[in-house]
Structure 1
Amino acid sequence: MTDTPARPPAWTPRETPIGPLLLAATEKGLVNVVFHAEGRTIDRALARLSARLGAEPEPAESLPAQPPPDEHGPTPAGHLATAVAALDRYFAGSPGPVTVPLDWSLSGGFNERVLRALAAHVPYGATVGYEDLARRVGEPGAARAVGVAMGSNPLPVVVPCHRVLESSGGIGGFGGGLETKRALLALEGVLPQPLF
């Protein structure tokens, strides 16, 4: 568990072409993206965040986006606004990276190393194999561990685990569901758009 932040984490739901997402942020940056964010999924995600971050997340609309004049630094709600704008551009087909400050406190060790390498070195419209990603972090032969890291990704879409494919060319697994992975890869031009 991390130290309790000065400001509570903030969260907001967001409708997207791949379904509703829950976005959560701390003062450091975007900390969590959750697929299928409805009902119990939101409740469970917020309970996990509260336990992991040591503070109960609050709805973004109840928090100021800008810090009070006597305080400095970004706010959780401000990071959410940045993330929402970046994701809106992404889902509109903008080929640039989703750039938003990230809080890595829900990841660590090997998993964090792999996720950081993925975020930094596999751009929009590109893909990488599990084995290649393992080599990039200096762990050749750790392809299965890379798969575990992808499954633990607290920041899907933004940290693009959908871009990691099997060496055989197969699509591989995906925490948001294979249809979601196909839709993201189609959006980026890696796969053809579905006919209907």
Structure 2
Amino acid sequence: MKRQVLMNLVMVVLVAGLLTMVSCSKPKVADPGDVNQGQEMGETDAERAARLEAERIRAQQLEEERQAQARLAEARSNFLNQNILFDYDSAELSSEAKDLLREKADWLQANSSETVMIEGHCDERGTTVYNLALGERRAAAARNYLVDLGVSASRLGTVSYGEEKPLDPASTEEAYRMNRRAQFVIR
């Protein structure tokens, strides 16, 4: 008899445990990829189509914004990394330099909140005093051309570093050519 009572008790515990497990199971969550999801949630076909179209438009807008930001970053990088080069012992702008300055003027006009420092540089030939004066004339030539193109003079500053900040410290013609420059820095 004790054995029968023990078996009944074990059965009651097992049935109670089984009922507890079944009643605590998680409700079924709709799969986001389920085509009928919107209908299960009370969404009509027209509402679902409108929601999907709005999501597509937002995704397209985000992509266009990302591309616009990438173009702006590239334009800024080009502005900063393209130097105006000068001939030996000269502050005269070449036709290539004028073309590049026109591009820089366009960028400056499109970015009216930016102010720029134009740095004049020279190669190592010549005295320190002469190279500082030549670097100033080079920076001023670039600045004056930008002002002539419509950029406000108040947004442009100049400084000369003479031979003190070479891009290439070698004593070769190619290094000298790269060091005779006007360089642009956004303040």
**Same fold, TM-score > 0.5, yes or no:** no
The alignment's TM-score, normalised by the length of structure 1, stands at: 0.21
The alignment's TM-score, normalised by the length of structure 2, stands at: 0.22
Larger Rg: 2
Q: Report which structure shows greater RCO (CA 8 Å, sep ≥6).
A: 2
